[in-house]
Structure 1
Amino acid sequence: MKQYIKSIVEINDNKKSRYFALFIQGLILLSVVTFSIETIPNLKPQTKVILQSIEWFSVIVFSLEYFLRIYVADSRPKFIFSFFGIIDLLAILPFYLSFGVDLRSLRALRFLRLFRILKLVRYNKAMNHFTSAIKSAKEEIFLFILITLILIYFSAVGIYYFENEAQPEHFSSIFDSLWWAIITLTTVGYGDVYPITVGGKVFTFFILMIGLGIVAIPTGIISSALTKSVDKKVDN
């Protein structure tokens, strides 16, 4: 029974494992969306009931998944204190512990599991350098885009909690905060929305530093891929 559960819960090359992984990924996306919707002011009571029901269902599934992963782990302490083990735990703790800190946004990090089911793709060597470079760096580019989206979401969550009370007209919900997060991480900075609290300003400083690195990453990925493509052709 343990081996059967392990073949499903852990990423393997079988249909049940892939379906389970897709179900968990879909539920993570749904929980992130509902978490964001909860921050919209003046929600209808019926909507709140639906969101709460989704939260209950999500936590039950995530809790079951967490304990199943512990059960099938080759080394349980190693899994519990691993990166994904900690993230799995933090994804369900806020529901069970009422200590005033909402950590549900950390569920977004669980999307990194998606890369466990990605397979290496073989590319056609006959293509030109640029096409070959883009294709050969496909996974790195996809990883960059996904991490950027996660950072944008976390930035929106962070600035929402710092600035919501001080500027409810600009940061009334996480959806409104997403605009600030996008223009800050991309270092565009139109100046129409900016933090006024000390915490918000410090938070913005770190987001700007991260944004400077994000702008440079795609250039490095594509340049490296182009260099490798040229070197391969010369060697051939």
Structure 2
Amino acid sequence: MKNYLKNLVEPNNSKRSKRFAFFIQFLIILSVITFSIETLPDLKPQTRVVLNAIEAFCVVIFTFEYVSRIFVADNKPKFIFSFFGIIDLLAILPFYLSFGIDLRSLRLLRMFRLFRLFKLVRYNKAMKHFAQAMIAAKEQIILFMIITLMLIYFAAVGIYYFENEAQPEHFTSVFDSLWWSIVTLTTVGYGDVYPITVGGRIFTFFILLIGLGIVAIPTGIISSSLTKAVEPSSEEE
């Protein structure tokens, strides 16, 4: 039984495993579509019954998959606390919590169903390469995020001192200035808050230049790691 389940749930070249993988992927997409349909207003009661039935069916299959993977795992704790183990649990957890908690009052829990999308990474080679690239570049990404947070704070402090007296309603404190700092460094520029002093505009000019680099740097890091992740697979083929 253990070998049968292992050959079924773990991706391999057997037809049984491939069919099961396609079936799981189909259910993931189906469950995401039903989740989106549930947000439509004025749905008929019959429609909600059908959506709930689809959701229950998907959860039953996902639960079977999750329990089976734990059963066939050589190192069960390692799988349970692995990335895919946590994703598999989060994919089914909201359904079972709904029996004891009113999800209408805890809408955030329903969003955990979207974690099912991450289950697709297990079955898609391109997504696997991307996940490997993210893991390989995690140190650079963490360092980049720390530097970015420091720059955001620096920009917030700088614009506060330039604009506080001119626009006390928008730049009341450094904390209020953080919003401007974030949208400026990410080059979004909503235009709801902007500098009006000469010093503030000059400061903003340099912050925008830094922002262009902030957008480009992670792209280069991930692209480099993705290339390294794809190369071994290409050589094997």
TM range (shorter): 0.5 to 0.7
- Residues 85 and 50 of structure 1: CA distance in aligned 2, closer, same or farther (over 3 Å): same
Return the alpha-carbon distance in structure 2 between the equivalents of residues 117 and 220 of structure 1: 13
- Please say which structure displays the higher CA radius of gyration: 2
- Deviation (angstroms), 1:67: 0.6
RMSD: 3.8
Pick one of 212, 219, 226 that aligns with 1:216. Answer: 219
- After superposition, where does 1:1-236 map in structure 2 within 5 Å? 1-98=1-98, 99=101, 100=106, 101-102=109-110, 103-115=112-124, 212=215, 216=219, 220=223
The answer to whether the 8 Å contact 1:9/1:17 transfers is yes
Q: How many residues align?
A: 149
Distance 2:217 2:116 in 1: 22
* 1:6, distance to aligned residue in structure 2 (A): 0.5
Corresponding residue SS for 1:33: helix
Q: Which runs of 5+ in 1 are unaligned?
A: 120-138, 145-183, 195-207, 229-236
Seen in structure 2, the aligned counterparts of structure 1 residues 117 and 39 have a Cα distance that, compared at 3 Å, is same
Identity %: 50
Q: Over residues 154-190 of structure 1, what are the superposed CA-to-partner deviations in whole Å (9 max), with x where a residue is unaligned?
A: xxxxxxxxxxxxxxxxxxxxxxxxxxxxxx9xx8969
Question: What secondary structure sits across from 2:124 in the alignment?
Answer: helix
Displacement of 1:215? 8.8
CA gap of 1:63–1:189, structure 2 versus 1, over 3 A, is: same
Which one scores higher on RCO, CA 8 angstroms, separation ≥ 6? Answer: 1
TM-score by length of 1: 0.52
Deviation at 1:115, TM superposition (A): 2.8
Distance 1:117 1:65, change over 3 A: farther
Please tell me whether the aligned partners of residues 11 and 116 of structure 1 are also in contact (alpha carbons under 8 angstroms): no
Asked if 2 retains the 8 angstrom alpha-carbon contact of 1:11 and 1:117, the reply is no
Shift in CA distance, 44/87, structure 1 to aligned 2, threshold 3 Å = same
